[in-house]
Amino acid sequence: MKLPLKTLWLPLIASLAFAASANEAAIRKNLAERLPNLPPIEEVSKTPFPGLWEIRINRSEILYSDSEGNYLIQGSMFDTRSRVDLTEQRVQKLGAVDFSSLPLKDAFKVVHGKGTRQIAVFSDPNCGYCKRLEKTLAEVEDVTIHVFIYPILGPDSVKKSQAIWCAKDKGKTYTDWMLRGTAIPNASCDTAAVERNVALGRELRVNGTPTLFFVDGTRVPGAVDAERLETLLKTAKAK
Q: What CATH code is carried by the domain that includes residue 146?
A: 3.40.30.10
Q: Are 225 and 190 members of one domain?
A: yes
Final residue belonging to a domain, choices 46, 75, 95: 95
Per DSSP bridges, beta strands 143-149 and 117-123 are parallel
3-state secondary structure of 143: strand
Q: Are 124 and 208 members of one domain?
A: yes
3-state secondary structure of 8: helix
* Model pTM score: 0.74
Q: Are 201 and 120 members of one domain?
A: yes
* Dihedral class, residue 222 (left if φ above 0, else alpha if ψ from -120 to 50, else beta): left
Q: In which order are the strands placed within the sheet that holds 41-46?
A: 41-46, 53-57, 61-65, 72-73
Q: Are 66 and 156 members of one domain?
A: no
Q: Are 187 and 78 members of one domain?
A: no
Q: What does the alpha-carbon distance between residue 202 and residue 59 come to, in Å, rounded to a whole number?
A: 12
Q: Are 231 and 125 members of one domain?
A: yes
Q: Are 181 and 73 members of one domain?
A: no
* pLDDT score at 2: 54
Yes or no: say if 47 and 53 are a contact pair by the CB < 8 Å rule: yes
Final residue belonging to a domain, choices 74, 95, 116: 95
* pLDDT score at 17: 46
Range of the domain at 24: 20-95
Q: Are 219 and 154 members of one domain?
A: yes
Phi, psi of 54, deg, nearest 5: -90, 135
Q: Are 65 and 43 members of one domain?
A: yes
Q: Are 149 and 210 members of one domain?
A: yes
Per DSSP bridges, beta strands 211-214 and 117-123 are antiparallel
Final residue belonging to a domain, choices 95, 123, 149: 95
* pLDDT score at 14: 43
Count of domains observed in the chain: 2
Work out the angle between the directed axes of helices 128-137 and 226-238 (0-180°, nearest 10): 70
Compute CA distances 226 → 80, 155, 222, 223, whole Å.
Answer: 27, 31, 12, 9
* pLDDT score at 112: 94
Compute CA distances 108 → 29, 103, 146, 185, 193, whole Å.
Answer: 47, 11, 6, 17, 11
> In whole angstroms, how large is the CA radius of gyration of the chain?
23
Q: What does the alpha-carbon distance between residue 13 and residue 215 come to, in Å, rounded to a whole number?
A: 40
Compute CA distances 199 → 104, 149, 152, 185, 232, whole Å.
Answer: 14, 12, 11, 26, 27
Yes or no: say if 194 and 162 are a contact pair by the CB < 8 Å rule: yes
pLDDT digits (tens), the chain, 239 positions: 555 655 545 454 444 444 557 789 999 999 999 999 999 999 999 999 999 999 999 888 899 999 999 999 999 999 999 998 898 888 888 877 889 999 999 999 999 999 999 999 999 999 999 999 999 999 999 999 999 999 999 999 999 999 999 999 999 999 999 999 999 999 899 999 999 999 999 999 898 999 999 999 889 989 999 999 999 999 887 55
